[in-house]
Amino acid sequence: MKNLVFAGLAGWVLLMTMASYAFAGDEGQGADLYLQDVQPMTTMECARCHYSAFVDIRDQGGLHQQPCTDCHQVYHNFKPSVPMKDKLPQCADCHDAPHGDLFVGCLGCHTNAHAPVTSLIGVDKLAKDCEACHGEQQSEIKEFPSAHAEILCSDCHHSRHGNRPSCNECHEDVHTPYIDTEKCVACHAPHSPLEVTYGEETPSKLCSGCHEEVLEALTGSSKKHSVLQCAFCHVEKHGNIPACQDCHESGPHNESMIKKFTGCQDCHGAAHVLKLQ
Ligand code: HEC
Ligand code: HEC
Ligand code: HEC
Ligand code: HEC
Ligand code: HEC
Ligand code: HEC
Ligand code: HEC
Ligand code: HEC
Ligand code: HEC
Ligand code: HEC
Ligand code: HEC
Ligand code: HEC
């Protein structure tokens, strides 16, 4: 390491001299020339010779938009006995293993250190490893069987890593008019689409696409239930059925009267209509 730094330094000084000659011009005369302080090369100066590295970082560097020498503390060691890998920075100089012990060959996926995210290999190549990094989504899709468990992660998340597909790419004819994916995922989590949940504000017209008759019965009634939204009574999860007592306890009636009947519906009929029997 010591040798390396020394050699790096020697190379650097050599280059500095070249560079100040090339860039700064000769400011002093005779011995004065050598009385000036030697300044380390700036990123702009590296860029003159390493233009493509500069452009990569400028356009695609993301959080790697740092001065060259933050990463390249040792460089221009042209000694043939020093292997190239010792002349270049290692990811591990600055990063621990962010994806765990399984993924240590960083450049195998982040193929250009100067464009660490945009140079990622394609989803087809990542496909075998989705699960290792996204265990949560993998467990969810396994735990709640649906047709979505039968297709690959990369069938939906196609084209590039991190792409979020819209539902209507595959579902043209749906029970409710397609507006945007956000509206669909308000009821269907994409990795467990049959576990339908929804908020209290969900408008009844989203239910009536499949329960037309119920909506008609409800709105056709003159009773006070007719102004309530489906989701006000059938809370949270598709298929939830409330008991009358959840909202009314025993209503205006005394408990001993109620005990004589199997339920409130014996007299009030179905909840949607409330037609006295
Ligand atoms: C005057 C032109 C010039 C300048 C300025 C320059 N380099 Fe180089 N650099 C070269 C040449 C020539 C090579 C060797 C040829 C090759 O491999 O492309 C090289 C090689 C490298 C390498 C390859 C590995 C190695 O050490 O040999 C790195 C890394 C590097 N330079 C970094 C830098 C950095 C960082 C700066 C600015 C601090 C810089 N260079 C400034 C010309 C320059
Ligand atoms: C965030 C750290 C980082 C920054 C900033 C950075 N580099 Fe690099 N650079 C690396 C790493 C890591 C490698 C080695 C990649 C490999 O092993 O293939 C490398 C490789 C190189 C190489 C040799 C291999 C090649 O691709 O040609 C040169 C030359 C180079 N960098 C120049 C520069 C210059 C010039 C700058 C500034 C404009 C710069 N680097 C900024 C991390 C960095
Ligand atoms: C000299 C230090 C240094 C080296 C060497 C370095 N990085 Fe980084 N890298 C950083 C810093 C600092 C950040 C921003 C903060 C963070 O995410 O940790 C970063 C961020 C990243 C990011 C996120 C970029 C973004 O825009 O979201 C990736 C990916 C990355 N590094 C991969 C690599 C890989 C792969 C290597 C080796 C080829 C490497 N880094 C080498 C310092 C370094
Ligand atoms: C199997 C492919 C693969 C390997 C190997 C890999 N990465 Fe990544 N890395 C990714 C993907 C995919 C992302 C997500 C990028 C995005 O944000 O879209 C990522 C993101 C990152 C990030 C930014 C997000 C975060 O978690 O902070 C850093 C930093 C990073 N990688 C560093 C590394 C380093 C260092 C190594 C080597 C130890 C490495 N990666 C190895 C695929 C890989
Ligand atoms: C080496 C680890 C790694 C692999 C392999 C990987 N990812 Fe990622 N992925 C990440 C990291 C890191 C992020 C960014 C941080 C986060 O959101 O967890 C990310 C983010 C995402 C995102 C969210 C993007 C956003 O907008 O928030 C999706 C979607 C995604 N990955 C899907 C996939 C799919 C599908 C695969 C397989 C084809 C895959 N990933 C393979 C590490 C990985
Ligand atoms: C039927 C299509 C589909 C399948 C199959 C699928 N996803 Fe997704 N995934 C989506 C959609 C759509 C989103 C965005 C949801 C949103 O915007 O709220 C998403 C979001 C994500 C996210 C971002 C975080 C989150 O949960 O919102 C990750 C990570 C992810 N998926 C990984 C995976 C992995 C890993 C697999 C395979 C085990 C997979 N997905 C299978 C459609 C799918
Ligand atoms: C890459 C294609 C693809 C995308 C994107 C996609 N799906 Fe699917 N989905 C399918 C396939 C294939 C089936 C099974 C056949 C069918 O019902 O059309 C399915 C079935 C379903 C089912 C019924 C599940 C079952 O087991 O019966 C629901 C609900 C569903 N999708 C909702 C969604 C929602 C919501 C989105 C957006 C978040 C979405 N899908 C995005 C391909 C996709
Ligand atoms: C108000 C909640 C809600 C919204 C919003 C919603 N869905 Fe549904 N969806 C359901 C319910 C409930 C089912 C029936 C589930 C069952 O059979 O158990 C269903 C079933 C499905 C099915 C299975 C096939 C079918 O038609 O019966 C698909 C596909 C589907 N939805 C896609 C979508 C898409 C795409 C969107 C966005 C345009 C969407 N859904 C919006 C509640 C909703
Ligand atoms: C895509 C069609 C579809 C949509 C949209 C839909 N449902 Fe259903 N619903 C069904 C089907 C099919 C059944 C019967 C099979 C079952 O139990 O899953 C059903 C059953 C029910 C049941 C009775 C469950 C039982 O155990 O008898 C209730 C209550 C219900 N839905 C309420 C709603 C509400 C409230 C909405 C709107 C938030 C809604 N549904 C949206 C298709 C749908
Ligand atoms: C989620 C709560 C909820 C549930 C469950 C519920 N109700 Fe109601 N009910 C209401 C509300 C709210 C009103 C209107 C109260 C008002 O405006 O004073 C109402 C009104 C009524 C009325 C008066 C109707 C009128 O027009 O005067 C009757 C009778 C009634 N409910 C019976 C029932 C019966 C029987 C059941 C079970 C089959 C039931 N309710 C289930 C919330 C509920
Ligand atoms: C006042 C509360 C309330 C409202 C509002 C309400 N329901 Fe119901 N629903 C019930 C109760 C209680 C039952 C249990 C059976 C009964 O008493 O009629 C039920 C039963 C059901 C059933 C299964 C049995 C059947 O009658 O088909 C479906 C499906 C259903 N409701 C859908 C809906 C839809 C769709 C809406 C909106 C258009 C809606 N409900 C509005 C309380 C309500
Ligand atoms: C023996 C028949 C019978 C039974 C059983 C019954 N009710 Fe009633 N209920 C009535 C009659 C009759 C009325 C008065 C007429 C009307 O308001 O529709 C009434 C009125 C009501 C009212 C409206 C009170 C108002 O201020 O307008 C509510 C709420 C109510 N009942 C709830 C319930 C609930 C909850 C149950 C079950 C725990 C139940 N009832 C069981 C016959 C019955």
pLDDT tens column, 151-198: 999 999 999 999 999 999 999 988 988 889 999 999 999 999 999 999
Residue identifier of the C-alpha nearest atom 29 of ligand 6: 134
Comparing CA positions, the residue from 136, 8, 157 lying closest to residue 72 is: 8
Predicted confidence at residue 177, as pLDDT, reads: 84
Predicted confidence at residue 26, as pLDDT, reads: 59
Residue identifier of the C-alpha nearest atom 26 of ligand 9: 239
Answer whether 146 contacts ligand 6 (Cβ < 6 A): no
For a mutational test of ligand 5's pocket, the pick from 133, 153, 164, 181, i.e. the residue with the most ligand atoms closer than 8 A to its C-beta, is 133
Answer whether 223 contacts ligand 11 (Cβ < 6 A): no
pLDDT tens column, 15-41: 444 444 444 455 667 888 899 999 999
d(CA 134, CA 76): 41
Predicted confidence at residue 173, as pLDDT, reads: 86
Predicted confidence at residue 176, as pLDDT, reads: 86
Q: Which residues of the chain have pLDDT under 50?
A: 1-24
Do residues 264 and 251 touch, judged by C-beta distance below 8 A? yes
For a mutational test of ligand 10's pocket, the pick from 274, 276, 277, i.e. the residue with the most ligand atoms closer than 8 A to its C-beta, is 274
Predicted confidence at residue 85, as pLDDT, reads: 87
Over the range 162-171, which residues count as b (16 or more CB within 10 Å of their CB) and which as e?
eeeeebeeee
Residue identifier of the C-alpha nearest atom 11 of ligand 5: 133
| Whole-angstrom Cα Rg for the chain | 34
Residue-averaged pLDDT of the chain? 90
Predicted confidence at residue 31, as pLDDT, reads: 87
Do residues 158 and 206 touch, judged by C-beta distance below 8 A? no
Predicted confidence at residue 28, as pLDDT, reads: 67
- Sign of the CA dihedral 226, 230, 234, 240? positive
Predicted confidence at residue 273, as pLDDT, reads: 95
Predicted confidence at residue 209, as pLDDT, reads: 87
- Give the atom of ligand 10 at the shortest distance from the alpha carbon of 270: 38
